[in-house]
Amino acid sequence: MEINELLKIMVDKRASDLHLRVPSPPVLRIDGELIPQQELPPVTVKDTEKVFEHITTQSQREAFYRELELDFAYSIPGLARFRVSVLKQRGTISLAFRLVPFEILSIDELGLPQVLKELVLKPRGLILVTGPTGSGKSTTLAAMINHLNENEKKNVITIEDPIEYLYRNKKCLIAQRDLGDDTKAFATALIHVLRHDPDVIIVGEMRDLETISTAITAAETGHLVLGTLHTTDASQTVDRLIDMFPPSQQQQIRLQLSQAIEAILSQTLLPRAEGKGRVAAFEVMMANVAVRNLIREGKSFELPNVMQLSSKDGMQTLDQALADLVGRRLVTREEAMMKSSHPEQLKKLLQFQYGISKV
């Protein structure tokens, strides 16, 4: 079967990912679950090599055979874009395709916290969207950029690996830089972007010390910077950022981060209780005076307490979000417990606020 036909099946079945790996049949991830397509024949070595040749350029193939891994975007006009990851396993090529729809859904259509509309219109500061792989961080960022594009005249520059959602200029002027094709490294790209008169900078992934340091400095000096991290909640995010730096610099970074941070949004996806689709749970931390003080003083472990007591400001912990979803019968108690970092605390919330003590 041709790869474009497989990708059409992927879209038709509303799968988020397609895996081609020898010697399994093609495998789709649907609502978070891996489902082998048993009606299709097992993938052979020749199949993966043929697909790889079909979807890559000569320079991409050279990069892959040099580095033994490759990330890039692949488009089928009229269908969708796909983020492609290629690597070697047991001497064969393994391919993973992540669906990136052409259409960018709005904050309202995705059911994201309304406070995101306010955050993305801020003139400066650092906003982080965090969560495990596949939790929808890119989709959330795209919805925020789309809202900005419809409401403000800003110069927006993104640095992505690879470019996923494609933006059309509405009110904003948007430039998208692809790691590999348009720039060699996040940190280098970020330094040069600062000379390109940006109002808003999107960093696809804050993965190294230099990128994080430059992003914080950019946020301090009058730019709005949005980035992603693979952390599960606000406390862990703050600790991860600080721990990236040598001990001698950590107090200075705490001070800088406390001044630059505007919000941390942590998200995770859970299967719906009725069995079709998934629903997102969001932890929201806004940088008020108490939050900034705790970050500066190295007391990130106390951040959940501030979030719990600041619901009027749009804040909530992940456990509060999970309890709300269980209370509205959108997800099961078991699924919520599996996603919670503090199951005992979630048990108490469910019992005292919703009277739910068991399944």
CB 284 within 8 A of CB 265: yes
CATH architecture of the domain with residue range 3-100: 2-Layer Sandwich (3.30)
pLDDT digits (tens, 9 = 90+) for 39-92: 999 999 999 999 999 999 999 999 999 999 999 999 999 999 999 999 999 999
- pLDDT higher than 80, residue 218: yes
Quote the pLDDT of residue 350.
92
Cα–chain-centroid distance for residue 15?
Answer: 18
Split at pLDDT 50, 70, 90, the class of 358 is low
CB 266 within 8 A of CB 234: yes
DSSP 8-state secondary structure symbol assigned to residue 78 = T
- pLDDT higher than 90, residue 353: no
pLDDT digits (tens, 9 = 90+) for 266-298: 999 999 998 788 999 999 999 999 999 999 999
Split at pLDDT 50, 70, 90, the class of 352 is confident
Q: What percent of the chain is predicted at pLDDT more than 90?
A: 91
Cα–chain-centroid distance for residue 43?
Answer: 30
- pLDDT higher than 70, residue 359: no
Query: How many other C-beta atoms lie within 10 A of the C-beta of residue 109?
Result: 10
Give the pLDDT mean for 28-33: 94
Quote the pLDDT of residue 274.
87
pLDDT digits (tens, 9 = 90+) for 334-343: 999 999 988 9
- The answer to whether the 3-100 and 107-316 domains have the same CATH topology is no
Split at pLDDT 50, 70, 90, the class of 315 is very high
Give the pLDDT mean for 169-189: 93
- Picking from 2, 96, 94, the residue whose alpha carbon sits closest to that of residue 48 is 94
Q: What residues does each domain of the chain span?
A: 3-100, 107-316
- What is the DSSP secondary-structure string of 35-71? EE-TTSPPPPHHHHHHHHHHH--HHHHHHHHHHSEEE
Quote the pLDDT of residue 287.
97
- Picking from 266, 155, 236, 169, the residue whose alpha carbon sits closest to that of residue 200 is 155
CATH 3.30.420.40 fits 107-316, yes or no: no
